Structure 1
Amino acid sequence: MREHQDFSGLEKSQLVETLTTHQQDVRNYAYYITGKQDWADEITQEVFLKAWKALHLFRQESSLRTWLFTITRNVSHDYRRKCSDKRIWLETTTLRYIEASPSAENDFFKNNDKKTICKLVGTLPSGFQDVFVLDANYERSMEEIAHILQISIGTVKSRLYRARRKLSTSLVNEGIQIRI
């Protein structure tokens, strides 16, 4: 096990800058979990407040970004539980579309498909949603996902496989052809 990371050599402004380089990622991840921009903004503030207060506890067992994602996930799920709004939205720009050639018609259908995909991801069980979003949108490694979600790598692989299988079936039923 690694020792606690030493931030004592950094000036306060450098430390704040180091943390805030991940601000947009934290906000986006909070938004994907909650589906509400105002919540994402509040969650982002709370995440950085918690991170600042607990910085002395941060160990280099993961990257700073992964640690912030773990805090973001926990705070976001607390917000969701409080308000029992379990919608999740996925920006699907990173998903790979199968299309013969680009056209205005394909662009139209692609945008409609994104809305359908977001809706379908929202129907997945929470554990599947988390794994799928971290993999498909944030391109996190299996190890990072396991660390963020505090589950084993085997569980990550299983949930990702099952999420993809469920989504593939649902997408075929919707007439959408993409690789996930």
Structure 2
Amino acid sequence: MVKKVIHTNEEIDITSEDKEMLIEQLMDLYTEKVYLLAYSFVKDRGIAEDISQEVFLKAYRYINNFRGEASLKSWIYRITVNTSMDFLKKKSMKQLLIENSFFESFNRTESAETSYLETDRNEHLLQIIITLPMKYRAVIVLHYFYDLTINELSTILNIKTNTVKTRLSRGRDMLRRKIEAKKGDVFSG
């Protein structure tokens, strides 16, 4: 029996014996997002590239173990988060930093002035997000920047859905308080 995984309009045969072709398809679908997710943890382009390569090597190595209980997207993101977290643990890095380019693709048709103001607000917001403890930053980034659901976050982070909900709620509260403490500068303009 052949299992199929649908991602947007792409169909990937996860039982294919041609693992090279399968990984090539996965890389076509997820390379940029995996890189940006890794970069959001390590804030170093070279390291994020290394982590991205390692993610796809792990996917290649363990694709036969993929059970299809979660989406392929969630599986790839979980590998990325785990690999990034392993790197952070090894290097004792404590800050999650987010690349400003997350926002570059959001509004490409805006005027230069509008785009500049939006980028400026986003940079202020990013500076505030960076100050959150890692467990709150991770759920905020994955939920709001990657549009992952509570269930997907639960799978990726290997925590209960109620824990995800609690961290999202607390993370939003912390953000709100920090924004208010800065007198709303982030959203004025």
Q: TM-score range by the shorter chain?
A: 0.7 to 0.9
Q: Do the aligned partners of 1:88 and 1:118 also contact (CA within 8 Å) in 2?
A: no
Secondary structure of the equivalent of 1:86? coil
- Residue in structure 2 matched with residue 176 of structure 1 by the alignment: 185
- Residue in structure 2 matched with residue 34 of structure 1 by the alignment: 42
- Residue in structure 1 matched with residue 14 of structure 2 by the alignment: 7
- Residue in structure 2 matched with residue 93 of structure 1 by the alignment: 103
After TM superposition, give the deviation of residue 28 of structure 1 in Å.
0.8
Letter in 2 for 1:42: D
Determine whether 1:79 maps to 2:79: no
- Residue in structure 1 matched with residue 24 of structure 2 by the alignment: 17
Q: Do the aligned partners of 1:47 and 1:71 also contact (CA within 8 Å) in 2?
A: yes
Q: Structure 1 CA distance, aligned partners of 2:55 and 2:81? A: 9
After TM superposition, give the deviation of residue 141 of structure 1 in Å.
0.6
Q: Do the aligned partners of 2:139 and 2:168 also contact (CA within 8 Å) in 1?
A: yes
Q: Do the aligned partners of 1:134 and 1:145 also contact (CA within 8 Å) in 2?
A: yes
Cα deviation, 1:15-63, whole Å, max 9, x if unaligned, reads 1232212111111100011111111100001111111111111110111
Q: Structure 1 CA distance, aligned partners of 2:149 and 2:64? A: 26
Q: TM-score, normalised by structure 1?
A: 0.82
Q: Do the aligned partners of 2:143 and 2:149 also contact (CA within 8 Å) in 1?
A: yes
Cα deviation, 1:92-134, whole Å, max 9, x if unaligned, reads 639x9xxxxx893x65543333222222111111111110001
Match of 1:63 among 65, 71, 74: 71
Unaligned runs of 5+ in 1: 97-101
Change (3 A) 1:54 1:122: same
- Residue in structure 2 matched with residue 99 of structure 1 by the alignment: none
C-alpha RMSD of the superposition: 2.5
